[in-house]
Structure 1
């Protein structure tokens, strides 16, 4: 017997339909991670190794503007870099589904068009929370800590996850644009300079002036600077507007990116195969 689904007509019915479909896709992606835990382990190993490498191998040669422990300066940058590298994780998952024909199968079903991309974003957010928890524990082990209140610490983590949510939509959009997995590997390479030309490992004041300006206005720098301020970690300073208002920019940048790439991702998904 073939069941004909009832197509929603009212805005409320369409919204409910989209939420249900998004949760179905989220569960599907989480189930894949549970059955293939090596993907999660591999994703966690890079930031952990980076913490050990920069904290212990290069840390003795690094100077923090205004003084302070380099590992405390480093950890907010590592948190932010992990959120940015999530672009590659999302992009790879999206382009893989597209190449394998899974995206077309979703499109052939009576599913809300927004449900597929929203489900992808929710699954990646849950994965990002796990990444951040592991990195925080790793930071505590190597001597990092926060010096502000518990509420300020939660606010810093919230801004980091807000940045990750914005980067998810960039990853979804780019993944829908790429023709194959090989081109996705090339896109991964762009994440390294974008995360390095920021205040993640070195203060912009220590860079050439023109490069320091670019680094200060990097969305990653805004969130990392805000996290350092809320955590009470060293490295704050600078005379530019961007360096003195990191919390404000850490809100404005992600909101602007979401406003741009979320509708672009939904529109691109609807146009696939046309």
Structure 2
């Protein structure tokens, strides 16, 4: 009786192909992240508190001091309607830091390596994470809209346009979570991901039309603000909510994104998603190889 001995080489299972498999894998990862969020409710709670504080502070501290062109001087009501689209947009973009920190934490704990050993689509881990972050952002945005109504914000368009405005805001937020994903894959710790996810957001959101009219800025900053993707979504939301002021020009520099904010917002968000998803998936493959 003879015995045949040998060694077997262990290899990671190959991921299943196809768009359907990728979608299923992404939804499974998204479900895993959503369950994790429900078990850590403070993640959602703290994510809601910050934008609510911004609403209250900007409304009652600056509301009577900032003049909106075309509105009565010192009109707090006009500033509330001007402000809210900016607060909504800031809220969805600040989800970038959470997305980056979450992915960096998974990398730090080795969870991404375990996912990589499974027969699943390579981009599903990142897509699932960004979809879960989108759901959390939608919940935060809904709560924030209720708070805005309580402090006096109102819309003046039909429900279809209002929902379209919120859809554009969520699309921008989803686009920016892909930037957060790339940052999370590029740093070593969750703390670095949080800092890296916020440091560039502050100039992006404040050099814009979100909180003050652009016409009061220096000329070169007016061009920067009106070509800012963030500004395009803010202007689109104001238009769809009916929060624009009659007789006030859409742009002070003639920038195309301000003249056609809805289309500009859609184009900017789609381009950001396409570019940063490709870069994030490529980084994911090289970072976990």
TM class, shorter-length: over 0.9
Unaligned runs of 5+ in 1: none
1:131 aligns with 2:146: no
Query: 1-side partners of 2:229 and 2:103: how far apart?
Result: 23
Unaligned runs of 5+ in 2: 1-10
Q: Name the count of aligned residue pairs.
A: 268
Indicate the residue corresponding to 1:20 in structure 2: 24
Query: 1-side partners of 2:191 and 2:138: how far apart?
Result: 28
Query: 2-side partners of 1:267 and 1:189: how far apart?
Result: 24
CA separation of 1:47/1:176 partners in 2, compared to 1, >3 Å: closer, same or farther?
A: same
1:161-215: per-residue Cα shift (whole Å, max 9, x none)?
Answer: 1111111111111111112223223312322221111111011111111111111
Indicate the residue corresponding to 1:218 in structure 2: 228
Displacement of 1:82 in angstroms is: 0.6
Matches within 5 A, 1:86-235: 86-187=95-196, 188-234=198-244
Normalised by the length of structure 2, the TM-score is: 0.88
Normalised by the length of structure 1, the TM-score is: 0.92
Indicate the residue corresponding to 1:270 in structure 2: 285
CA separation of 1:264/1:8 partners in 2, compared to 1, >3 Å: closer, same or farther?
A: closer
- Contact persistence 1:64–1:234 (CA under 8 A): no
Displacement of 1:17 in angstroms is: 2.2
Larger Rg: 2
Q: RMSD value over aligned CA atoms? A: 1.8
Indicate the residue corresponding to 2:276 in structure 1: 261
